[in-house]
Structure 1
Amino acid sequence: MKAGSLWLLPVLLPSAALAQPDDRGSAQARIVITGTGLPLPPGTPAYGSVQIERDRLLDSASGRIETILTDVAGFQQFRRSDSRSANPSAQGASLRALGGNASSRTLVLLDGVPMADPFFGYIPFSALVPERLSAARVTRGGGVGAFGAGAVAGTIELASATRDQLPMLSATALYGSRDATELSASLTPDLGGGFLSLSGRWDRGDGFQTTPRDQRVSATVPAAYDGWSANLRAVVPISTSDELQFRTTMFHDERTLRFRGADSLSEGQDASIRYVSRGRWQVDALAYVQARNFSNIVISSNPPFRKTLDQRSTPSTGIGGKIELRPPVGQDHLLRVGIDSRFAMGDMFEDAYSAATGLVTARRHAGGRQRTIGMFAEDDWTLGSLVLTGGVRADRWTISDGFFRVAGSPANSADFKNRSGWETSARAGALLHVDKHIAVRAAAYTGFRLPTLNELYRPFVIFPVTTQANPVLEPEKLKGVEAGADLNPLKGLSLSATAFYNRLDNAIANVTIGTNLRRRDNVDAIVAKGVELTASGRLGAMSLSASYAYSHSTVRAPGNLFDSLSPAQTPRHAASATVAWQLRQGPRLSATLHYVSAQYEDDLHADRLPGALTLDAVARLPVGRGLELIARGENLFDQEVLTRRVTGSTGVSEDLGTPRTLWIGLTVSR
Structure 2
Amino acid sequence: MLFDAPPPPVSAVIVEAPRLPPLAGQEAFSTASYDAAQLGASARLDDVLKTTPGVSLFRRTGSDAANPTIQGLSLRAVAPSGAGRALVTLDGAPQNDPFGGWVIWTALPGESLSGATIVRGAGAGPYGAGALTGVVALRERAVGGGLSSLSVQAGERDSWRAAGTLGTDHVLLTASGSRTDGYRPVRGAAAGAADVPTTLEDGAITARVQGEAGGVRWAARMGAFQEKRGAGLFGAKSNATGSSLALTVAGDRWRLQAWTRSSDLENTSAAVAAGRTATTPANDQYSTPASGYGLNAAWQDKAGDWSWELGGDVRATEGRTNERFRYQNGVFTRQRTAGGRTLVGGVYAETAYSQPDFSVTGGARLDGWRSYHGVRRERDAATGALTLDAAVADASGTTPTARAGVRQRLIDDTWVRAAAYASFRPPTLNELHRPFRVGNDVTEANSALKPETLYGVEAGLSGEGAVAWNLGLFYNQIQDPITNVTIGVGPGTFPVAGFIPAGGVLRQRRNAGEINAYGLEGDIAADLSPAWTVRAAFSATHARVDGGGLAPQLTDKRPAQAPALTITAGARWRPLQRLSLDADLRYESKRYEDDLNLRTLKAGASLDLRAGWALSPTSEIYLAADNALNTDLAVAQTADGVTSYAAPRTVFVGFALRR
Same fold at TM > 0.5: yes
SS across alignment from 1:55? helix
Distance in 2 separating the partners of 1:208 and 1:473 = 37
Count matched residues. Answer: 623
Identity within the alignment, %: 30
Distance in 1 separating the partners of 2:622 and 2:220 = 32
Matched, 1:446 2:392: no
Structure 2 partner of 1:513:
487
Match of 1:543 among 517, 523, 533: 533
Match of 1:653 among 626, 639, 642: 642
Distance in 2 separating the partners of 1:196 and 1:513 = 54
Residues 44-53 or 580-589, more deviating: 580-589
Contact 1:534–1:547 (8 Å) recurs in 2: yes
Counterpart of 1:468 in structure 2: which amino acid? E
Counterpart of 1:417 in structure 2: which amino acid? A
Structure 2 partner of 1:380:
352
Counterpart of 1:654 in structure 2: which amino acid? T
Structure 1 partner of 2:243:
269
Change (3 A) 1:582 1:236: farther
Distance in 2 separating the partners of 1:600 and 1:452 = 24
Structure 1 partner of 2:199:
224
1:46-73: CA deviations, max 9, x gaps? 002111222222223xx11111111111
Residues 570-579 or 610-619, more deviating: 610-619
SS across alignment from 2:129? helix
Distance in 1 separating the partners of 2:35 and 2:571 = 14
Distance in 1 separating the partners of 2:41 and 2:448 = 45
TM-score by length of 1: 0.90
1:25-45: CA deviations, max 9, x gaps? xxxxx8973335222222110
Matched, 1:68 2:41: no
Structure 1 partner of 2:651:
662
Distance in 2 separating the partners of 1:371 and 1:312 = 26
Contact 1:575–1:595 (8 Å) recurs in 2: yes
Contact 2:14–2:143 (8 Å) recurs in 1: no
Distance in 2 separating the partners of 1:97 and 1:184 = 32
Structure 1 partner of 2:450:
474
- How far apart are residue 167 of structure 1 and its match? 4.6
Counterpart of 1:401 in structure 2: which amino acid? H
1:79-128: CA deviations, max 9, x gaps? 11112211110111112222133111111111111111111111111211
Contact 2:111–2:150 (8 Å) recurs in 1: no
Match of 2:513 among 499, 524, 544: 524
Moved over 4 A (4+): 582-585, 624-627
1:361-406: CA deviations, max 9, x gaps? 1000000100111001000112452211001001111110011000
Contact 2:109–2:163 (8 Å) recurs in 1: no
- How far apart are residue 443 of structure 1 and its match? 0.4
Matched, 1:571 2:563: yes
Structure 2 partner of 1:12:
none
Matched, 1:643 2:635: yes
Matched, 1:38 2:20: yes
Contact 1:487–1:495 (8 Å) recurs in 2: yes
Counterpart of 1:127 in structure 2: which amino acid? A
1:531-555: CA deviations, max 9, x gaps? 1101111232322222100000000
**RMSD of aligned alpha carbons:** 2.0
Distance in 2 separating the partners of 1:285 and 1:202 = 32
Counterpart of 2:316 in structure 1: which amino acid? F
1:315-334: CA deviations, max 9, x gaps? 1001002010003x402111
Counterpart of 2:648 in structure 1: which amino acid? P
- How far apart are residue 139 of structure 1 and its match? 1.0
1:194-343 residue pairs with structure 2 within 5 A? Answer: 195-239=170-214, 242-278=216-252, 282-302=253-273, 305-327=279-301, 329-343=302-316
Counterpart of 1:372 in structure 2: which amino acid? V
Structure 1 partner of 2:542:
552
SS across alignment from 1:201? strand
Structure 2 partner of 1:18:
none
Distance in 1 separating the partners of 2:417 and 2:606 = 33
Match of 1:92 among 60, 72, 76: 72
Distance in 2 separating the partners of 1:652 and 1:457 = 30
Unaligned runs of 5+ in 2: 1-11, 490-504
- How far apart are residue 666 of structure 1 and its match? 2.4
Structure 2 partner of 1:594:
586
SS across alignment from 1:258? coil
Distance in 2 separating the partners of 1:71 and 1:172 = 21
1:128-167 residue pairs with structure 2 within 5 A? Answer: 128-163=108-143, 167=146
Distance in 2 separating the partners of 1:384 and 1:621 = 42
1:98-117 residue pairs with structure 2 within 5 A? Answer: 98-117=78-97
SS across alignment from 1:504? strand
Residues 202-211 or 586-595, more deviating: 586-595
Match of 1:459 among 435, 448, 460: 435
Contact 2:151–2:163 (8 Å) recurs in 1: yes
Distance in 2 separating the partners of 1:83 and 1:615 = 18
Structure 1 partner of 2:101:
121
1:606-659: CA deviations, max 9, x gaps? 100011111112222123686521222111011101110122xxx333221111
Contact 2:270–2:439 (8 Å) recurs in 1: no
Counterpart of 1:494 in structure 2: which amino acid? A
Counterpart of 1:462 in structure 2: which amino acid? V
Change (3 A) 1:153 1:38: same
Distance in 2 separating the partners of 1:585 and 1:243 = 42
- How far apart are residue 300 of structure 1 and its match? 2.6
1:237-286: CA deviations, max 9, x gaps? 224x53212221111001101223211011110111112222xxx01221
1:516-571: CA deviations, max 9, x gaps? 11111111100010011011112323222221000000001245222011110000
1:425-456: CA deviations, max 9, x gaps? 00111011223311111000111110111111
Structure 2 partner of 1:348:
321
Contact 1:100–1:508 (8 Å) recurs in 2: no
- How far apart are residue 135 of structure 1 and its match? 1.4
